[in-house]
């Protein structure tokens, strides 16, 4: 015995967990700063309000409000209305996905909406000790913010008391938000003549987001988001791309069939981003807004950023991009001539025609491995998740070459790679050619990730 003690496994795990927590909080800080004072409109159906995740949703909305985000919540009650109709021996009627609301159905709508709203308010009003809402008090407000009109007769079907939004009284909603209230909107509207109309939650959420100039419109839906042909989540999509998918009926669920047209219209009419998030994903709102990768699909009017493979014309911009990081020792120096020779290995990301990020792939095919090198993003765009997009593109390129693992050498960003599934290894585990070139004076840490 040498008198030294070895940390227990439990202590090591606690330390690792603590480090992860600290890294997550620090990583979330830029988003907290960016979203404070911004308006988010969150639309969710009655199945969410009555489902197993309703409690968690209340906790997360409480946290968003506590972080200074201006919240407007729009709830639906479709299953509750159907249940009330069944209780009264009435059959629900739909046409093209929209409820036909006669006088008897309207009574069921009013009853179900009232109960659902009270239940949502109750969830948002909790403050028990030893819960995420301990010590909090959310002021929930509402009002006659919506002027409605009848849908009328469409394709020979009279929708009766089913209505559409005529006007949103945005100044009143904003006045409540200015008082740090959370605005809860029930999708009922009144006409100037005093008639009550049943409105769809998704269209009310869309109209409210447009009227209050929301930063984000969020729909909690029955899917992870939009999926591609291989059933992989699509992180972001433009309104034009989303419209093409909708018209083709690609990957649409019952909710997405209703929500996607609203998302497309919203971003075309001024809402910065629309997010489609799985309502069964615990903490989905937090994961979408406070982690680099997110968990849902973002719909925007224009592409957020454009990724492509580099060409010789990009060399000057590459030099300008990576030079500051070469100067401070973050990146290994590469001369212009070397960049010209190896430019085909680079993937670049540009915003409005300006190159704002890059990464390179150096394959070692004999050992089924590849190096991720020269990952760089300009400082003003480091909060936009471009590093993650570049990493995913490099991984796709490596998989296309049938490579099995990716490795990276870094001196400054070890935590970033750990958070994205990389594990630390020693230089001796590098491919032979790279191992022979390893600079022991620079002492870069080596990380690897299976593909």
pLDDT at residue 374, rounded to an integer: 93
Q: What is the pLDDT of residues 188-208, one digit of tens each?
A: 999 999 999 999 999 999 999
Q: What is the pLDDT of residues 346-399, one digit of tens each?
A: 999 986 567 889 999 999 988 999 999 999 998 877 766 789 999 999 999 999
pLDDT at residue 1, rounded to an integer: 46
Q: Over pLDDT 70: what percentage of the chain?
A: 95
pLDDT at residue 7, rounded to an integer: 61
Distance CA 184, CA 196 (A): 18
DSSP string, 73-136: EEE--HHHHHHHHHHTT----EETTEE-B-HHHHHHHHHHHHHHHHHHHHHHT---TTSTTTT-
pLDDT at residue 176, rounded to an integer: 97
Most confident of 103-117, 229-243, 326-340, 412-426: 103-117
Contact by Cβ (8 Å): 188, 201: no
DSSP H or E stretch at residue 177 = helix 170-178
Which residues lie across from 219 on neighbouring strands?
43, 276
What residues have CB less than 8 Å from 262, skipping those under 6 apart? 202, 203, 205, 206, 219, 274
Q: How many CB atoms lie within 10 A of CB 313?
A: 8
Q: What is the pLDDT of residues 95-116, one digit of tens each?
A: 988 999 999 999 999 999 999 9
Q: What is the pTM (predicted TM-score) of this model?
A: 0.71
Q: What is the pLDDT of residues 232-256, one digit of tens each?
A: 888 888 999 999 999 998 889 999 9
pLDDT at residue 439, rounded to an integer: 86
Q: Looking at residues 404-408, what average pLDDT do you find?
A: 95
Contact by Cβ (8 Å): 295, 287: yes
Contact by Cβ (8 Å): 159, 52: no
Is a pLDDT exceeding 90 seen at residue 294?
no
More confident residue, 163 or 33: 163
pLDDT at residue 440, rounded to an integer: 83
- Return the ∠ at Cα 224 (arms to 401 and 114), rounded to 5°: 170
Most confident of 16-25, 119-128, 303-312: 119-128
């Amino acid at each position: 015995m040498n008198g030294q003690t070895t940390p227990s496994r439990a202590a090591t795990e606690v330390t690792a967990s603590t480090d992860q927590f600290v890294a997550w909080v620090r990583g979330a800080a830029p988003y907290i700063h960016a979203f404070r004072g911004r308006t988010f409109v969150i639309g969710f159906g009655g199945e969410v309000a009555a489902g197993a995740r309703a409690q968690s949703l209340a906790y997360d909305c409480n946290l968003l409000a506590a972080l200074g985000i201006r919240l407007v919540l729009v709830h639906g009650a479709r299953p509750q209305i159907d249940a009330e109709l069944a209780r009264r021996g009435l059959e629900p009627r739909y046409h093209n996905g929209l409820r036909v609301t006669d006088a008897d159905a309207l009574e069921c709508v009013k009853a179900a909406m009232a109960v659902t709203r009270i239940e949502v308010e109750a969830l948002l009003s909790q403050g028990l000790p030893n819960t995420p809402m301990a010590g909090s008090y959310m002021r929930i407000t509402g009002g006659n913010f919506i002027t409605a009109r009848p849908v009328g007769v469409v394709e020979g079907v009279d929708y009766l008391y089913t209505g559409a939004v005529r006007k949103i009284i945005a100044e009143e909603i904003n006045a409540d938000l200015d008082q740090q209230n959370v605005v809860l909107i029930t999708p009922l509207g009144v006409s100037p003549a005093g008639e009550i109309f049943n409105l769809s939650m998704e269209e009310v959420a869309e109209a409210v987001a447009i009227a209050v100039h929301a930063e984000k419109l969020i729909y909690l839906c029955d899917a992870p988001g939009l999926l591609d042909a291989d059933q992989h989540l699509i992180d972001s999509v433009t309104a034009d791309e989303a419209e093409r998918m909708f018209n083709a009926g690609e990957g649409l669920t019952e909710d997405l069939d209703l929500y996607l047209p609203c998302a497309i219209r919203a971003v075309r009419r001024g809402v910065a981003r629309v997010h489609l998030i799985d309502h069964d994903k615990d903490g989905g709102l937090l994961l979408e807004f406070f982690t680099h990768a997110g968990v849902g699909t973002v719909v925007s009017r224009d592409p957020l950023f454009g990724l492509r493979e580099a060409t010789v014309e990009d060399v000057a911009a590459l030099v300008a991009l990576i030079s500051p990081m070469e100067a401070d020792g973050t990146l290994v120096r590469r001369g212009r001539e070397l960049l010209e020779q190896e430019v085909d290995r680079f993937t670049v990301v540009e915003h409005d025609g300006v190159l704002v990020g890059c990464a390179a792939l150096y394959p070692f095919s004999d050992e089924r491995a590849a190096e991720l090198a020269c990952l760089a993003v300009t400082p003003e765009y480091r909060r936009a998740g471009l590093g993650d997009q570049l990493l995913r593109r490099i991984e796709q390129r490596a998989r296309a070459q049938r490579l099995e693992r990716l490795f990276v050498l870094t001196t400054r960003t070890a935590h970033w790679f750990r958070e994205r599934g990389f594990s630390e290894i020693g230089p001796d585990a590098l491919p032979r050619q790279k191992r022979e070139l390893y600079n022991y004076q620079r002492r870069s840490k080596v990380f690897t990730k299976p593909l």
